Amino acid sequence: MTRLDNVDLPVMPPVQPMLAKSVKGIPDPDKFGGLSFEPKWDGFRCIVFRDGDEIELTSRNTKPLTRYFPEVVAAIREQLPERCVLDGELFVAMGDRLEFETLQERIHPAKSRVDMLSEKTPAGFVAFDLLALGNESYVDRPFAERRAALEQTLAGLDGPCYLTRTTRDVAEAEGWFTSFEGAGLDGVVAKPLTAPYLQNGRTMLKIKHERTADVVVAGYREHKTSTPERPLLGSLLLGLYADGKLQHIGVSASFTEKRRAELIEELQPLVCAIEDHPWGEWSDWAIANPDRVPGTQSRWSTGKDLSFTPLRPDLVVEVAYDHMEGRRFRHTAQFRRWRTDRDPESCGYEQLEEPVSYDLGSVLGVVSKGSTTE
């Protein structure tokens, strides 16, 4: 539930954001009647509703975010139009990079901690679409018109609220795809210039980074539909070695039901006792922890069974991943092939690509306080 009970905006909550489907490579604009490209921000998707002093922030799943980001609410009150509905992203920047892990820490039940973090790790908001302005709804208008209105309305923003950069030049978009990753961004989004704003519709296109790594299989979790009569594998738990210790780096999933049944049978000879496993020291942990090790709970997984079946770390698998979040894969890695030729202890972090650093201020279009790029 939102707090806008007495508000009458042209577009009212709940609003489900427009989504994107993945494509490989920068698409040809001519096939879509023209495209606008912009950075793909790695934060919390956020719809902003403002009517005077009434402000509400809602998530991709339409849940309220307002109480967690008081500094953003204050910035919206100072910088954004009196009556508007905007689609954008909440982010936290540390130095010249976005830090998703730090952003996650902002979701906390204690007001005292929320207030402390709002000062210690303040968030920003970057707008990239317009749903309503004043008394007019823009959802049925083409993106080219929505973007023009955004540029006219939000010109000159220099933080904590920003307007995302865009380009219609394919070569420039390809350059952004490579260079912006060093600032912690997730890729590039392409929006058809003629498309209206379709809630929950995959109208946009996203081009994300994909790399491969050879990782150690250290355990598995059963699928939610697994039964004693027909056990099914849900996900493989993956690790990499650092300083002689096997560190949890993420999971690989998305297998067919047939393959889930085959895998869980194939892995049985490697099942070992937890006390004989490199992660045995974690078996007694029952609290949230920043490393999100297997078998432990967090604010994001309350009520879920995160127990796992430990395996001798003898197998190596090649997986595809987009980018890192600290020392872990940001998203579920995709199984590519077994690497029977690799020694598990040779699989370390040094094989992972490090993107070239890039100034976040340049991505945001801010050259110096009070001025923006052309």
In three-state form (DSSP H/G/I as H, E/B as E, the rest C), the secondary structure along the chain is: CCCCCCCCCCCCCCCCCCEEEECCCCCCHHHHCCEEEEECCCCEEEEEEEECCEEEEECCCCCECHHHCHHHHHHHHHHCCCEEEEEEEEEEEECCEECHHHHHCCCCCCHHHHHHHHHHCCEEEEEEEEEEECCEECCCCCHHHHHHHHHHHCCCCCCCEEECCCECCHHHHHHHHHHHHHHCCCEEEEEECCCCCCCCCEEEEEEECCEEEEEEEEEEEECCCCCCCCCCEEEEEEEEEECCEEEEEEEEECCCHHHHHHHHHHCHHHECCHHHCCCHHHCCCCCCCCCCCCCCCCCCCCCCCCCCEEEEEEEEEEEEECCEECCEECCCEEEEEECCCCCHHHCEHHHCCCCCCCCHHHHHCEEECCEECC
Comparing CA positions, the residue from 250, 253, 217, 254 lying closest to residue 323 is: 250
Instruction: Name the pLDDT band for 267 (thresholds 50, 70, 90).
Output: very high
Average pLDDT, stretch 254-265?
93
Residues 6+ apart with CB under 8 A from 194: 33, 34, 142, 143, 144
Q: What is the dihedral of CA 51, 55, 58, 63, to 10 degrees?
A: -110
Residues 6+ apart with CB under 8 A from 316: 214, 215, 216, 217, 338, 339, 340, 342, 343, 344, 347
User: What pLDDT does residue 46 have?
Assistant: 97
Average pLDDT, stretch 18-29?
92
Residue 299, pLDDT > 60, answer no
User: What pLDDT does residue 370 have?
Assistant: 34
Instruction: Name the pLDDT band for 280 (thresholds 50, 70, 90).
Output: confident
Residue 295, pLDDT > 60, answer no
Residue 10, pLDDT > 70, answer yes
User: What pLDDT does residue 45 have?
Assistant: 96
Residue 57, pLDDT > 80, answer yes
Residue 1, pLDDT > 60, answer no
User: What pLDDT does residue 225 have?
Assistant: 92
User: What pLDDT does residue 356 have?
Assistant: 62
Instruction: Name the pLDDT band for 296 (thresholds 50, 70, 90).
Output: very low
User: What pLDDT does residue 317 have?
Assistant: 95
Instruction: Name the pLDDT band for 294 (thresholds 50, 70, 90).
Output: low
Which of 16-30, 31-45, 254-268, 359-373 shows the lowest mean pLDDT across its residues? 359-373
Average pLDDT, stretch 231-250?
94
Catalytic residue annotation? 40
Instruction: Name the pLDDT band for 94 (thresholds 50, 70, 90).
Output: confident
User: What pLDDT does residue 352 have?
Assistant: 83
Average pLDDT, stretch 195-212?
91
Segment 142-152, tens digit of pLDDT: 999 999 999 99
Average pLDDT, stretch 3-29?
89
User: What pLDDT does residue 355 have?
Assistant: 64
**CA angle, residues 128, 134, 137, in degrees to nearest 5:** 65
Residue 137, pLDDT > 90, answer yes
Instruction: Name the pLDDT band for 163 (thresholds 50, 70, 90).
Output: very high
Q: What is the pTM of this model?
A: 0.72
Instruction: Name the pLDDT band for 62 (thresholds 50, 70, 90).
Output: very high
Residue 306, pLDDT > 70, answer no
User: What pLDDT does residue 39 have?
Assistant: 94
